[in-house]
Amino acid sequence: MNPHDDDSTRAVWNRSQSSGWMLAVGAILALGLIVFAVVDETHRSVSLGLLLAAAAFLVTGAIKVTVSPRGVTVASALVPFLRQNIAMDRIKGATARRTRPLEIGGWGYRWKPGVRAVSLRAGDALWLELRRGTRFVVTIDDAQTAAELVNRYLPPRHGGR
């Protein structure tokens, strides 16, 4: 049975992942910079500007990944409106494999030629092959189930696609 024909077979997969060290660094850095900004007026603007670095750790340090018939969504657990949505019609295929952060550019939200990634640790990762020839990778537990569900929901291919 084709999952596109019967709404009763529609499943949704959700997982959350966090990096304790990224959240701790973000929180300590934010607190330190705020205290420094209050204490030292001459460097207040620099301290407040550096809060962006702390925010980057906090925003990417905990994520929620969802696979549904509409696509794959990776959202910040702390700031849920910051999200990456990838519609099923943009995905060519999905696989899961063990991945090291340095293989995809490091920790956090990463980009390098041909690859965008959200990497919080080494381990299971969902690899999406996008139709435009690039990849999107997210390190998440149970990536194999996510990849199977993505492949199940991919639109049927028509002549030469």
DSSP string, 12-49: -EEEEEE-HHHHHHHHHHHHHHHHHHHH-GGGHHHHHH
**Residue 89 CB contacts under 8 Å (≥ 6 apart), including other chains:** 131, 155
> What is residue 153's predicted lDDT score, i.e. its pLDDT?
95
59 closest CA partner among 83, 94, 41: 83
Q: pTM surpassing 0.85?
A: no
* pLDDT tens-digit map of 23-56: 999 999 888 888 888 888 888 888 888 888 888 8
Residue 6 has pLDDT above 80, yes or no: no
* pLDDT tens-digit map of 83-112: 999 999 999 999 999 999 999 999 999 999
